[in-house]
Amino acid sequence: MKNKTEDMISAYIENDLSQEEKNIIEDYMDKNPEFLSKVNSIKEMVLLLKKTPTLEPSNNFLANLEERIAKETKSIFDFSYKFKIGIAFASSLGILLVIILNNYSIKEDIAITKNIQTDSFAKAEEKDTLQNNHFSIKQVKGNK
Protein backbone atom coordinates (compact mmCIF):
# COMPACT_ATOMS: atom_id res chain seq x y z
CA MET A 1 0.00 0.00 0.00
CA LYS A 2 2.88 2.33 0.77
CA ASN A 3 4.34 1.89 -2.72
CA LYS A 4 0.92 2.53 -4.28
CA THR A 5 0.54 5.74 -2.27
CA GLU A 6 4.04 6.87 -3.23
CA ASP A 7 3.29 6.07 -6.87
CA MET A 8 0.10 8.14 -6.64
CA ILE A 9 2.01 11.08 -5.10
CA SER A 10 4.64 10.86 -7.82
CA ALA A 11 1.98 10.72 -10.55
CA TYR A 12 0.18 13.69 -8.94
CA ILE A 13 3.35 15.80 -8.85
CA GLU A 14 4.20 14.89 -12.46
CA ASN A 15 0.59 15.64 -13.46
CA ASP A 16 0.10 12.12 -14.82
CA LEU A 17 -3.31 11.46 -13.23
CA SER A 18 -6.77 11.60 -14.66
CA GLN A 19 -8.98 14.47 -13.44
CA GLU A 20 -10.95 12.04 -11.25
CA GLU A 21 -7.80 10.65 -9.56
CA LYS A 22 -6.44 14.18 -9.12
CA ASN A 23 -9.69 15.26 -7.40
CA ILE A 24 -9.53 12.24 -5.04
CA ILE A 25 -5.97 13.08 -3.94
CA GLU A 26 -6.75 16.79 -3.53
CA ASP A 27 -9.81 15.97 -1.41
CA TYR A 28 -7.68 13.64 0.74
CA MET A 29 -5.01 16.38 1.15
CA ASP A 30 -7.71 18.84 2.26
CA LYS A 31 -8.85 16.41 4.98
CA ASN A 32 -5.37 15.17 5.99
CA PRO A 33 -2.77 17.93 6.71
CA GLU A 34 0.06 15.39 7.29
CA PHE A 35 -0.44 13.96 3.82
CA LEU A 36 -0.53 17.49 2.35
CA SER A 37 2.76 18.27 4.11
CA LYS A 38 4.31 15.07 2.73
CA VAL A 39 3.21 15.86 -0.83
CA ASN A 40 4.51 19.44 -0.57
CA SER A 41 7.92 18.32 0.76
CA ILE A 42 8.24 15.81 -2.08
CA LYS A 43 7.27 18.54 -4.58
CA GLU A 44 10.04 20.78 -3.18
CA MET A 45 12.62 18.00 -3.48
CA VAL A 46 11.61 17.25 -7.07
CA LEU A 47 11.86 20.95 -7.98
CA LEU A 48 15.30 21.21 -6.36
CA LEU A 49 16.51 18.15 -8.24
CA LYS A 50 15.23 19.58 -11.52
CA LYS A 51 17.05 22.87 -10.87
CA THR A 52 20.34 21.14 -10.01
CA PRO A 53 22.74 21.37 -12.92
CA THR A 54 23.90 18.11 -14.40
CA LEU A 55 27.58 17.40 -14.31
CA GLU A 56 29.13 15.73 -17.28
CA PRO A 57 32.30 13.70 -16.78
CA SER A 58 35.16 14.11 -19.19
CA ASN A 59 35.28 11.84 -22.24
CA ASN A 60 38.14 9.78 -20.84
CA PHE A 61 36.77 9.58 -17.27
CA LEU A 62 36.18 5.82 -17.30
CA ALA A 63 39.56 5.09 -18.90
CA ASN A 64 41.33 7.27 -16.30
CA LEU A 65 39.37 5.64 -13.48
CA GLU A 66 40.20 2.11 -14.65
CA GLU A 67 43.88 3.05 -15.03
CA ARG A 68 43.98 4.53 -11.54
CA ILE A 69 42.28 1.48 -10.01
CA ALA A 70 44.74 -0.83 -11.78
CA LYS A 71 47.68 1.24 -10.55
CA GLU A 72 46.43 1.28 -6.93
CA THR A 73 45.76 -2.46 -6.98
CA LYS A 74 49.19 -3.17 -8.44
CA SER A 75 50.96 -0.96 -5.90
CA ILE A 76 49.31 -2.82 -3.01
CA PHE A 77 50.62 -6.21 -4.16
CA ASP A 78 53.84 -5.13 -5.88
CA PHE A 79 56.57 -5.65 -3.30
CA SER A 80 60.17 -4.99 -4.14
CA TYR A 81 62.44 -7.91 -4.94
CA LYS A 82 64.56 -7.35 -1.80
CA PHE A 83 61.43 -7.29 0.37
CA LYS A 84 60.22 -10.59 -1.11
CA ILE A 85 63.63 -12.20 -0.45
CA GLY A 86 63.60 -10.84 3.10
CA ILE A 87 60.16 -12.33 3.77
CA ALA A 88 61.25 -15.70 2.37
CA PHE A 89 64.44 -15.65 4.48
CA ALA A 90 62.58 -14.70 7.66
CA SER A 91 59.99 -17.41 7.04
CA SER A 92 62.73 -20.01 6.53
CA LEU A 93 64.45 -18.97 9.76
CA GLY A 94 61.16 -19.17 11.62
CA ILE A 95 60.46 -22.68 10.35
CA LEU A 96 64.01 -23.79 11.18
CA LEU A 97 63.68 -22.37 14.71
CA VAL A 98 60.41 -24.25 15.24
CA ILE A 99 62.03 -27.51 14.07
CA ILE A 100 65.06 -27.03 16.36
CA LEU A 101 62.93 -26.19 19.38
CA ASN A 102 60.68 -29.14 18.67
CA ASN A 103 63.66 -31.54 18.47
CA TYR A 104 65.16 -30.10 21.66
CA SER A 105 61.83 -30.53 23.40
CA ILE A 106 61.59 -34.15 22.23
CA LYS A 107 65.15 -34.92 23.44
CA GLU A 108 64.38 -33.30 26.78
CA ASP A 109 61.18 -35.35 27.08
CA ILE A 110 63.13 -38.55 26.34
CA ALA A 111 65.75 -37.67 28.99
CA ILE A 112 63.05 -36.95 31.56
CA THR A 113 61.32 -40.23 30.70
CA LYS A 114 64.59 -42.15 31.12
CA ASN A 115 65.19 -40.52 34.52
CA ILE A 116 61.67 -41.40 35.62
CA GLN A 117 62.12 -44.99 34.46
CA THR A 118 65.51 -45.25 36.23
CA ASP A 119 64.04 -43.81 39.44
CA SER A 120 61.07 -46.19 39.22
CA PHE A 121 63.39 -49.18 38.69
CA ALA A 122 65.56 -48.14 41.63
CA LYS A 123 62.50 -47.73 43.87
CA ALA A 124 61.17 -51.10 42.75
CA GLU A 125 64.55 -52.70 43.56
CA GLU A 126 64.55 -51.08 47.00
CA LYS A 127 61.13 -52.56 47.73
CA ASP A 128 62.49 -56.05 47.11
CA THR A 129 65.33 -55.55 49.60
CA LEU A 130 65.09 -55.70 53.38
CA GLN A 131 67.77 -53.61 54.97
CA ASN A 132 69.27 -53.65 58.41
CA ASN A 133 72.03 -51.42 59.72
CA HIS A 134 74.61 -54.23 59.41
CA PHE A 135 73.52 -56.26 56.42
CA SER A 136 70.89 -56.49 53.67
CA ILE A 137 68.70 -59.41 52.90
CA LYS A 138 67.36 -59.78 49.42
CA GLN A 139 63.94 -61.27 48.99
CA VAL A 140 64.02 -64.39 46.90
CA LYS A 141 61.09 -65.23 44.76
CA GLY A 142 60.60 -68.91 44.16
CA ASN A 143 58.58 -71.00 41.77
CA LYS A 144 55.43 -72.54 43.09
Provide the pLDDT confidence category of residue 2 given band limits of 50, 70 and 90: low
Distances (CA, A) of 82 to 40, 78, 89, 91: 66, 12, 10, 14
User: Would residue 59 count as lying in a domain?
Assistant: no
Q: What is the pTM of this model?
A: 0.38
Q: Does one domain contain both 48 and 84?
A: no
- Which residue segment(s) compose the domain that 120 sits in? 79-144
Residues 8-36: what's their mean pLDDT? 89
Domain count, the chain: 2
pLDDT digits (tens, 9 = 90+) for 121-144: 555 555 545 555 555 556 666 665
Single-letter amino acid, residue 57: P
pLDDT digits (tens, 9 = 90+) for 78-113: 667 777 788 888 999 999 888 887 777 776 666 667
* Largest Cα–Cα separation, the chain: 130
> Residue 41's pLDDT is what?
92
Q: Does one domain contain both 90 and 32?
A: no
pLDDT digits (tens, 9 = 90+) for 52-72: 888 888 889 888 998 888 877
